[in-house]
Amino acid sequence: MNEEIIIAGFGGQGVLSMGKILAYSGIMQNLEVSWMPSYGPEMRGGTANVTVILSDDRISSPILNAYDTAILLNQQSIDKFEKTVKPGGLLLYDTNGITRHPSRKDIEIYQVEAADESTRMASAKTFNMIVLGGYLKLKPYLEIENVVAGLKKSLPERHHKLIPVNEDAIKRGMEIVKKA
Amino acid sequence: MNEEIIIAGFGGQGVLSMGKILAYSGIMQNLEVSWMPSYGPEMRGGTANVTVILSDDRISSPILNAYDTAILLNQQSIDKFEKTVKPGGLLLYDTNGITRHPSRKDIEIYQVEAADESTRMASAKTFNMIVLGGYLKLKPYLEIENVVAGLKKSLPERHHKLIPVNEDAIKRGMEIVKKA
Amino acid sequence: MGELRLMKGNEAIAEAAIRAGCDAYFGYPITPQSEVMEYLAAEEPHKRTGMVLLQAESEIAAINMVYGAAGTGKKAMTSSSSPGISLKQEGISYLAGSELPCLIVNVVRGGPGLGTIGPAQSDYFQATKGGGHGDYRLLVLAPASVQEMADFVPLGFDLAFKYRNPVMILSDGIIGQMMEKVELFEQRPRNTTFDQSWTTTGKTPDRERNIITSLDLDPAKMELHNRDLQAKYQKMKENEVRFEEIECSDADYILVAYGSSARICQKTVKLARQKGIKAGLLRPITLFPFPTDIINSYAQKVKGFLTIELSMGQMVEDVRLAVNGLVKVEFYGRSGGVIPSPDEVLKVLEQKFIGG
Amino acid sequence: MGELRLMKGNEAIAEAAIRAGCDAYFGYPITPQSEVMEYLAAEEPHKRTGMVLLQAESEIAAINMVYGAAGTGKKAMTSSSSPGISLKQEGISYLAGSELPCLIVNVVRGGPGLGTIGPAQSDYFQATKGGGHGDYRLLVLAPASVQEMADFVPLGFDLAFKYRNPVMILSDGIIGQMMEKVELFEQRPRNTTFDQSWTTTGKTPDRERNIITSLDLDPAKMELHNRDLQAKYQKMKENEVRFEEIECSDADYILVAYGSSARICQKTVKLARQKGIKAGLLRPITLFPFPTDIINSYAQKVKGFLTIELSMGQMVEDVRLAVNGLVKVEFYGRSGGVIPSPDEVLKVLEQKFIGG
Amino acid sequence: MDVKDIIRDENLVYKRTKLLTDKPLSYCPGCGHGVVHRLVMEIIEEMDIVSDTIGIAPVGCSVLAYEFMDIDMQQVPHGRAPATATGIKRCWPDKFVFTYQGDGDLAAIGTSETIHACNRGENITIVFINNGIYGMTGGQMAPTTIPGMRSSTTPYGRDTSLMGNPLKMTDLVVHLPGTYFVSRQAVHTAVNVRKAKKALRMAFENQKLKKGTSFVEIVSNCPSGWKMTPVQANKWLEENMIPFYPLGDMKVNGEIVKQG
Amino acid sequence: MDVKDIIRDENLVYKRTKLLTDKPLSYCPGCGHGVVHRLVMEIIEEMDIVSDTIGIAPVGCSVLAYEFMDIDMQQVPHGRAPATATGIKRCWPDKFVFTYQGDGDLAAIGTSETIHACNRGENITIVFINNGIYGMTGGQMAPTTIPGMRSSTTPYGRDTSLMGNPLKMTDLVVHLPGTYFVSRQAVHTAVNVRKAKKALRMAFENQKLKKGTSFVEIVSNCPSGWKMTPVQANKWLEENMIPFYPLGDMKVNGEIVKQG
Amino acid sequence: MAKVKGAIVIDTERCKGCELCVVACPTDVIRMEKQVNSKGYHYAYPANHDACTGCMNCAIVCPDGVITVYRTKVE
Amino acid sequence: MAKVKGAIVIDTERCKGCELCVVACPTDVIRMEKQVNSKGYHYAYPANHDACTGCMNCAIVCPDGVITVYRTKVE
Ligand SMILES: Cc1ncc(C[n+]2csc(CCOP(=O)(O)OP(=O)(O)O)c2C)c(N)n1
Ligand SMILES: Cc1ncc(C[n+]2csc(CCOP(=O)(O)OP(=O)(O)O)c2C)c(N)n1
Ligand code: SF4
Ligand code: SF4
Ligand code: SF4
Ligand code: SF4
Ligand code: SF4
Ligand code: SF4
Ligand SMILES: [Mg+2]
Ligand SMILES: [Mg+2]
């Protein structure tokens, strides 16, 4: 398998750590992985994005201009990255605050109401895990135990008590993801 | 004509300024000239030397390893530069304080007792002018008026009153220079 | 198999430094490499191995702290990015002149001037030809993966001490910021003895004093010193050339690229082969010494070379010198933090050589 | 005919600066070029033309003072020697990136490190390929006489303003310290108007604000800027190549040398011709842009090239790139302050090409 | 009286200076840089010296100051602003030249340039934003980071036995013969903003006198680097930074009035 | 009693320390560098710490100090000795590390390194030779050149309105929290040499305490740069340099005892 | 007796929601909006406008300079 | 009464003729030689050796460290 993903959104939405959990999950499943963030001061207040690649083979370029999957978490990101999804690829987004929705016909478009759901779950920190759950449902190549292992690896020891909450959030995301 | 000269001695002996006067005299006579000193901290207390070239033609290399004339004013200089005089060339030196005299047979060797003479003239500053006089006597390609003009050019205005003394010293040098 | 981790290139360098038994790191923050010092600070290496960590007041102070530590035989290193590396040029020239082993990391960003914090490879000339004054060379390693970021730290120290020469790891914002799987090597012990033939650890009665200097006022001696340096660089050329070949053996066209652009070109080769174009990739791993011979030998067989850099054309000169007129050497580069895509490179290859 | 003087190369630069209408000199002492500032101090240029003279606290301060003055459209300059020039590399990269016109003099001494104060030409790479970070170029002039030391100051300023680019005069201890006859040009007036399209002299109501910067956080814009710079360098290549040919037209062997080593080779050519060897000398006057075309065109006719440098071999790479494998390019260099003699060079020529 | 009746041109008492461009400031929410930008531009507007003013932007979060200040500006290498200011001022002795620098810029890499410009007595204004951290590069320790303070390179708090003592640059420049006016201010409360403006105004007015360097430190915040909300940050500043960096004029008219 | 009877081993009271090599000093006649070299070597001999001492030679006339001092030494880039010393001392906290620097080296190009090493409180000894001039490069103005003093770049005397004020580095480092001992001495008379030695000795002894930086300025001469005979130079030093740079201990055991 | 009355206008699109104006206002005029602006910030608004004296404190502490202040005397 | 007598030895080949010892000697022992040494310097010598008290002043001010001092008590 070879899955090329872009995740983009506001700085505070946990974009980078979602990518990191994905990458770590890949490692747990013996895949090759790469994680390449945008970096620097423009991250401050502005938008952040990360390219994650999971593959059976050695990964060549960690930087891409076309993706199998785009996970887009604010308007700017949709505006910028919708066009970079490969034909037949997947675009997953949260409708919260979105005024111009993605409109391509040659790709699969899915929604996950993660912002609302995380408010409901009374834990803003679960937002990105709900999104991740939605993604994992749509691209089920990762065993869930590897994702949990990846989650563990990517969290510092002192946060391990949060793992159950995160697992729940992932499951919730799997449930609520829906076709646009 | 093309005359390639090395002048070497202690730092305080006026080696560089003698070279400068020669070079300026050359300019007065419409010759091409170059003046290339040794430089840097080794000059301090140590020895100084300068290569002067006067020529009818454009001067190529300002740095040489063989000279038509060597004017050597202390023991170290004789030890170092005697061997660099071209066969048939001229070596002029002051015997004061010299224990190992130049000994080559294939060159012309002359002496000028400039140190003693300058003490006699009660002006240590004339030392290098006496040496210069000796040289000009032996290599009379420079018109004396050009030398005086060169002297004038190379001295700051406020020292012009010293020109007569220097002229005398040059003349004295011409008189006392002698074959070794 | 060593411990597996997902790490940024910059973090890998820091962790590898601790594990390689590095004695001291001196640095000054600059994007995109600040994670090196931040990772070290979080790890408290003085507790793990006794390694010294100090945030210096400037890049110049940092490189001269490295000089001091290296002059006592300690394994010392610094890291920075382009403008900071420019400031270190005098210090680097001194380190080379005084023949001090040490490790200098440049996580290159786009220039000139303040430029951009985006990744670039436009410090190739500076790294390989000597951005400082005088005839000196650094041994330059160009990692193309996070794994190599880690592995080249102990390798760099080994080479630095083998040749008593500063070694540079020339990386860039991509390799520094990306995370990949890394297999970490075991902790190596720090040095406890120091070569008494040259290190300045205090003159003991059993030996002459040792002096670290690059000065000689006597030109004849200075020239001898310079010849010794050249002889050393010659030895590096004979023994230390490293490169990777990907699908070169039957290639008609060879891409030459290092570091992050080699990663991009790797994909280009795949795409080209899919299209039936016999492309290969030659990836210099040491930029100095440069893999001149292998390029020259391919020059007898292939139809052309295409050099890809995140710059306006620097390494391409070394490729041309290696090819020496035998076949066409073309260049394509992007700059200012812009990254060419694999298919963009393929298009260039087709245009320049196949006609498209 | 202008005023005739016997002057050191360093003094000629200083006098020429005043006469060229230079507005400001900022420097820090270093052998073998301290006479530049000393001469200026003695002349009190603030009395002669109003020119500013300031001894800075360091080379880095000096280059950044130049940056400030140049950013207001003033004719500003600095001078130093090798280690000091290494310290200026960040500043130079900024000047190039911000497209500021100014004059930088490097009176080269032997390196690396503290090295020697003797003359050398081992900063060629640094000057021509960019010792600083990023893709930038200086326009580099290499005087071979005291007369050229004087003449290249106004020429340097003219070119600097023509291209809004820093210009470097790459000299060495020989040219800096030797005295020769100089014909001095007439005093030129200092500038009184400043190009309001880019200089920062205070925003007046009739125009937008001007900004001097080399920064762009947007990679796309930064790349555009880099392309503009490259286009400018290309223009220099088309319009500003300068060189001198001595007895090249019928030559079998061409010596390539610049600055002081060209002076030595001039004599070698004489000696060779006396012996019946048809030698010529091609002297690059601009090192960037390099006289590639003329060398390439001779490469079709001659039996070989011999590059002579006071270094371990730097410009020779540009000669090889120009010759592109057509004939043999040999190199001979001395270093550390040692100067090859004309007959020594002749011997090398004979050995390498004629067999001796 | 209705709000609408108050919001009328004739009642206008405070409005953003026109010398700030329309471009939204790139600073994080609550960052003191914005306040100081505004004060400096207000002063230049009030003194009506735009056409005679050249500003210098450092490397640091305020590197883009030239995007917001509608005046001629130069952006210079990290730490070298005082040297660049010297280069300009020496050529244009009648212009107003100021530098705007962070604590990393002015007190770490630029220490030498700061000390020497102040010591020579360059007739310039130096505005020094001390937020105790390297904001731009992601919150590393600055020379001014106070003991025990966390940063990304002192994640367990600054241990002075490892990372050395904080440097009080303003306390040093007070002692230099070239400084004519030295003051330390803050902008986290309205009262402090008013005082800071007074000090900054004097620092610009002094250039007319040609008596030496005017140096104003602003003790400021960095909510992002300190990992606090702006309100928390200002409270922390009040309780921790100001005791360590006490406010007030330190040298006036060339006379020391208060030592650090 | 005959002279020959006095010149006997048992009557020996003063002899050149063996820690100076046989190589004749490269300094000009009468230059103070020679005296300070000797004092430092005597102290290292007396403390018996050769095998634990690393010295750092600057760029300046004393660049060749390693030719004369028979100890392990590093020669470093101009002005960077305090950084290099930091690098060594951090790796070898129990060794004695000292820098030997001229005024150009320490107070011009090396200002930042000096201030920051002293501020961090690096546990090293800094020996600072202030001869008011750049000796090695041919007598240019130094940061410490006093007003009106001639040099090859101030041939008509230092005009502070053009070339700025002299910098009193020692007065500054007194105020830094990292300095533990700061003293200014001279070596132009026997009395002063004795006092200077005492100060230098303390500056080395302090390293055992690990309490911070010891900094000793020696106001010295440069007959060549000043264009005077050594005797004239020392007289000029007494009459001009010392009033400007008054002698004495300034900080002892971390306490300021005298301000500049 | 003349009483001073003030009013403020906040450019909510440029407000970054730092809340410093809230803290600075002596008469507790300003509150933060639940809504976010297009940059994603909860912006400030004069919730208790009547209490405003036009003292300008809010405006001069606002880092983004987005507050305009009006003041008038009411007889 | 015990009287202190001193004597000095000057390494004349290494003396640079700076005359600082002459100035430093409280009892006027040292003079400069008319002759020069091989380096060209007029060197110092103890012209009035009897007056020497062995105070070491000359030795400790000598920049080139070329003076050795002896001292003894004479009854
Ligand atoms: C020569 C150089 N070194 C380092 C950097 C990286 N850098 C950019 S800003 C900065 C420090 C910013 O801190 P400060 O001056 O305190 O400004 P702030 O962002 O806190 O306002 C550094 C180290 C650089 N751009 N150039
Ligand atoms: C980077 C650099 N800049 C300048 C020089 C030239 N230089 C050599 S010594 C020196 C100053 C010497 O003065 P000082 O430090 O006072 O020592 P002194 O010779 O007076 O003892 C200078 C500027 C250099 N070698 N390197
Ligand atoms: S990082 Fe800190 S200093 Fe920079 S803009 Fe944000 S709050 Fe301000
Ligand atoms: S130049 Fe001055 S400092 Fe240097 S050795 Fe001579 S007298 Fe001493
Ligand atoms: S002007 Fe004063 S009273 Fe009115 S809102 Fe602002 S701070 Fe409050
Ligand atoms: S201070 Fe300004 S930016 Fe902050 S909340 Fe109030 S209006 Fe908004
Ligand atoms: S030891 Fe004292 S008395 Fe004797 S010569 Fe020396 S200075 Fe004079
Ligand atoms: S002090 Fe020393 S060097 Fe000077 S004259 Fe006396 S003996 Fe000679
Ligand atoms: Mg800061
Ligand atoms: Mg000095």
What is the model's pLDDT at position G1? 56
D285 shares its domain with D211: no
Q: Which of A79-83, B38-42, D321-325, F189-193 has the lowest mean pLDDT?
A: B38-42
Residues of D in contact with E87 (CB under 8 A): 24, 26, 64-70, 76
Q: Which of C181-185, D318-322, H39-43 has the lowest mean pLDDT?
A: H39-43
Query: For ligand 6, atom 6, which residue shows the shortest CA distance?
Result: G21
C65 shares its domain with C212: yes
Whether G42 is in the pocket of ligand 6, judged by its Cβ within 6 Å, is no
What is the model's pLDDT at position B42? 47
Cα dihedral A151/A157/A161/A165 (nearest 10) = -20
pLDDT tens per residue, range D28-81: 999 999 999 999 999 999 999 999 999 999 999 999 999 999 999 999 999 999
Count the residues in chain H. 75
Q: What are φ and ψ of residue B165, in 5° steps?
A: -60, -45
D311 shares its domain with D341: yes
The sign of the CA dihedral D295, D300, D302, D308 is positive
Could you identify the atom of ligand 6 that is nearest to the CA of residue G14? 3
What is the model's pLDDT at position H1? 56
SS3 content of chain A, % helix, strand, coil (to 5): 45, 25, 30
CB atoms within 10 A of CB G22: 18
C263 shares its domain with C187: no
Share of chain F above pLDDT 90, in %: 98
Answer whether C251's CB lies under 8 Å from C269's CB: no
What is the model's pLDDT at position D225? 98
What is the model's pLDDT at position A13? 85
Which ligand sits nearest to residue E225's alpha carbon?
3
Question: What pTM did the predictor assign?
Answer: 0.98
- In tens digits, chain E (260 residues) has pLDDT values of 789 999 999 999 999 999 999 999 999 999 999 999 999 999 999 999 999 999 999 999 999 999 999 999 999 999 999 999 999 999 999 999 999 999 999 999 999 999 999 999 999 999 999 999 999 999 999 999 999 999 999 999 999 999 999 999 999 999 999 999 999 999 999 999 999 999 999 999 999 999 999 999 999 999 999 999 999 999 999 999 999 999 999 999 999 998 87
CATH number at residue C69: 3.40.50.970
The first and second tokens of residue E40, run together, are 């400096």
CATH class of B2-179: alpha beta
Last residue of a domain, one of C172, C205, C239: C239
Number of independent structural domains in chain H: 1
Q: Indicate whether C182 pLDDT > 60.
A: yes
Which ligand sits nearest to residue E188's alpha carbon?
6
What is the model's pLDDT at position B41? 59
Residue D276 pLDDT class (50, 70, 90 cuts): very high
The string of DSSP letters for E169-201 reads HHHHHTTSTTEEEEEEEE-SSHHHHHHHHHHHH
Measure the CA–CA gap between D231 and D218, rounded to whole angstroms.
Answer: 20
Measure the CA–CA gap between E72 and E52, rounded to whole angstroms.
Answer: 9
C223 shares its domain with C318: no
Q: Indicate whether D236 pLDDT > 90.
A: yes
CB atoms within 10 A of CB F219: 28
When computed from its CA atoms, the radius of gyration of chain E, rounded to whole angstroms, is 18
* Averaged pLDDT, A64-77: 93
Measure the CA–CA gap between C88 and C78, rounded to whole angstroms.
Answer: 10
Q: What are φ and ψ of residue B151, in 5° steps?
A: -60, -45
Residue A43 pLDDT class (50, 70, 90 cuts): very low
What is the model's pLDDT at position B43? 43
Do chains G and D meet with 3 or more Cβ pairs nearer than 8 Å?
no
**β-pairing verdict for C24-27 and C52-55:** parallel
CB atoms within 10 A of CB H74: 11
SS3 content of chain H, % helix, strand, coil (to 5): 15, 35, 45
Answer whether C41's CB lies under 8 Å from E152's CB: yes
Residue A42 pLDDT class (50, 70, 90 cuts): very low
Q: Which of E18, E53, E72 to mutate to test the interface with D (most CBs of D within 10 A)?
A: E72
Residue D186 pLDDT class (50, 70, 90 cuts): very high
Q: Indicate whether B141 pLDDT > 80.
A: yes
* Averaged pLDDT, B155-180: 92
Residues of E in contact with F121 (CB under 8 A): 160, 164-165
The residue extents of the domains of chain B are: 2-179
CATH number at residue G8: 3.30.70.20
| Strand-pair partners of C96 | none
Closest CA–CA distance from residue G54 to any residue of chain A (Å): 31
pLDDT tens per residue, range F139-188: 999 999 999 999 999 999 999 999 999 999 999 999 999 999 999 999 99
The residue extents of the domains of chain F are: 26-254
Q: Report CB contact under 8 Å: E78, C53.
A: no
F130 has a chain C CB within 8 A of its CB: no
Stated as kind and residue range, the H or E segment containing E141 is: strand E140-141
Nearest to residue C112, comparing CAs of D229, A40, D139, D128? D229
D95 shares its domain with D7: yes
Closest CA–CA distance from residue H63 to any residue of chain B (Å): 15
What is the model's pLDDT at position B46? 66
Q: Report CB contact under 8 Å: C64, F87.
A: yes
Please identify every stretch of chain G with a pLDDT value under 70, giving residue numbers as ranges: 1
CATH number at residue D310: 3.40.50.920
Q: Indicate whether B71 pLDDT > 90.
A: yes
D211 shares its domain with D285: no
Do chains H and C meet with 3 or more Cβ pairs nearer than 8 Å?
no
Last residue of a domain, one of C214, C239, C264: C239
Could you identify the atom of ligand 7 that is nearest to the CA of residue H21? 7
Q: Which of A32-46, A132-146, B21-35, D272-286 has the lowest mean pLDDT?
A: A32-46
Query: For ligand 6, atom 4, which residue shows the shortest CA distance?
Result: G18
Number of independent structural domains in chain C: 2
Query: Is the bond preceding D342 in cis, omega lying within 30 degrees of 0?
Result: no
By the 10 Å C-beta count (0-12 exposed, 13-18 middle, 19+ buried), B106 is classed as exposed
Measure the CA–CA gap between D289 and D128, rounded to whole angstroms.
Answer: 8
Range of the domain at D291: 245-354
D271 shares its domain with D143: no
Measure the CA–CA gap between C24 and C29, rounded to whole angstroms.
Answer: 16
**Cα within 13 Å of Cα(B76), Cβ side:** 12
> Is 3.30.70.360 the CATH classification of the domain at E26-254?
no
Q: Indicate whether C263 pLDDT > 90.
A: yes
Residues of E in contact with A45 (CB under 8 A): 26, 28-29
- In tens digits, chain H (75 residues) has pLDDT values of 568 999 999 999 999 999 999 999 999 999 999 988 888 789 999 999 999 999 999 999 999 999 999 999 987
CB crowding C76-108: b at 16 or more within 10 Å, else e: bbbbbbbbbbbbbbbbbbbbbbbbbbbbbbbbb
Q: Report CB contact under 8 Å: C31, E78.
A: no
Residues of G in contact with A97 (CB under 8 A): 36, 40
Phi-psi region of D299 (alpha: psi -120 to 50; beta: other; left: phi over 0): alpha
What is the model's pLDDT at position D287? 98
| Strand-pair partners of B38 | none
Answer whether C280's CB lies under 8 Å from C245's CB: yes
- Average confidence score pLDDT of chain C: 97
- Tell me how far the alpha carbon of residue E15 lies from the centroid of ligand 5, in angstroms: 13
Residues of C in contact with E155 (CB under 8 A): 38, 41-42
Which ligand sits nearest to residue H50's alpha carbon?
7
Q: Indicate whether D356 pLDDT > 70.
A: no
Q: Indicate whether B113 pLDDT > 90.
A: yes
* Averaged pLDDT, A113-134: 89
CB atoms within 10 A of CB A52: 26
Residue B16, SS3? helix
The sign of the CA dihedral G58, G61, G67, G68 is positive
Whether F28 is in the pocket of ligand 4, judged by its Cβ within 6 Å, is yes
Query: What is the CA angle F77-F78-F79, rounded to 5?
Result: 110
Among chain H residues, CA nearest to F8: H70
Q: Which of A51-65, D243-257, D306-320 has the lowest mean pLDDT?
A: A51-65
Q: What is the ipTM of this complex?
A: 0.97
Q: Which protein residues have a CB closer than 5 Å to ligand 10 (ion)?
A: F 102-103, 131
pLDDT tens per residue, range C314-348: 999 999 999 999 999 999 999 999 999 999 999 99
- Average confidence score pLDDT of chain D: 97
What is the model's pLDDT at position A46? 66
Residues of B in contact with C217 (CB under 8 A): 40-42
Comparing CB atoms, the residue among D32, D264, D270 nearest residue B39 is D32
Closest CA–CA distance from residue F257 to any residue of chain H (Å): 28
Residues 6+ apart with CB under 8 A from D198: D73, D164, D210, D212
Q: Indicate whether D291 pLDDT > 80.
A: yes
Share of chain A above pLDDT 90, in %: 71
Stated as kind and residue range, the H or E segment containing D8 is: strand D3-8
Whether D29 is in the pocket of ligand 2, judged by its Cβ within 6 Å, is yes
- Tell me how far the alpha carbon of residue B142 lies from the centroid of ligand 4, in angstroms: 39
Residues 6+ apart with CB under 8 A from E20: E37, E38, E41, E68, E69, E70, G65
Q: Indicate whether D89 pLDDT > 80.
A: yes
Residue E130, SS3? strand
Residue F123 pLDDT class (50, 70, 90 cuts): very high
Pocket test for ligand 7, best of H53, H60, H61, H72 (most atoms within 8 A of CB): H53
Count the residues in chain C. 356
